[in-house]
Amino acid sequence: MPRLCFATNNAHKLEEIQALLGQDFELLTLKDINCNEELPETGDTLEKNSLQKTQYLFDNYGVNCFGDDTGLEVESLNGEPGVYSARYAGEQRNAEDNMNLLLEKLADKSNRKAQFKSVITLIQDGVITQFEGAVEGEIITEKRGNQGFGYDPIFVPENLGKTFAEMSLAEKSTLSHRARAFAKLVEFLKKSNVV
């Protein structure tokens, strides 16, 4: 069974991705390969951050791997928080603080359109491939739901009427930005006879 390392320590992401990937290959975590350091993430775009994390793993641990970077982009805030989504309200990376800051910045805005975007970089035997997934929607005025993580309680995908945080993992897995990007990754792996 092929093995791939996922460049994250985020337990929620790992759970979500394992559900998407099923039993087609063994998903290794950073812990599994004894990577205990913080992965570099200094790029100014989701694409650069995704590549930087994955390249670091491949170069230093010699494993086939993939990494993602995800951002929430709000139209009326010129794409904020974007690449800074996880640390929008500071280096403490607190989801509540991030949501509160975003709601504060949107308080006087009528345009609340936003999109979640994920970029995945796969490195296999030195070959780099990137995949992108996005889901459009809007930021609501108060938090709803207790599933998911990050900005899920304030993001309502287009035409759905409920937040990501009000959906089950199975429901979210069918339509999230990450699910869309990972569907492309899985399709690519199958076509290249890796899975």
Enzyme catalytic residues: 69
Report how far residue 70's alpha carbon sits from residue 80's, in angstroms, rounded to the nearest whole number.
12
Residue 31, Cβ density class (10 Å: 0-12 exposed, 13-18 middle, ≥19 buried):
exposed
Contacts for 153 with CB less than 8 Å, ≥ 6 apart: 99, 143, 144, 145, 146, 163, 164, 165
Sign of the alpha-carbon dihedral angle for 179, 95, 79, 77: positive
Phi/psi-derived region of residue 42, left when phi > 0, alpha when psi is between -120 and 50, beta in every other case: alpha
> 24 in helix, strand or coil?
coil
